[in-house]
Amino acid sequence: MAEVARRLLDAASDVSGLAQLKLAYLAVDLAKELIGRWGKKKVAVLVDEVFQAVGLDKAGIYVKSLLNLIEYP
């Protein structure tokens, strides 16, 4: 599942030419990795200016992916 999401993200960012999109979702991947190693009680994710990077049209998807990560690590 993660590989499919990564491939879709790569395709979307290549088409739009936005490296910022890749970086924004890299934060989600990093959080997943850290939660897997340390547990969710020891990981905090702080994002700044992410909506400018992913765009307001994708902001809901980004926030939902972070919430899902917290609820279902």
Residue 1, pLDDT > 60, answer no
* pTM of the predicted protein model: 0.52
Residue 56's pLDDT is: 81
Residue 64, pLDDT > 80, answer yes
9: which residues sit within 8 A by CB, 6+ positions away? 21, 22, 25
Task: Please write the tens of the pLDDT for every residue from 8-60.
Answer: 667 666 655 566 677 777 777 878 888 888 876 777 777 777 777 777 887 88
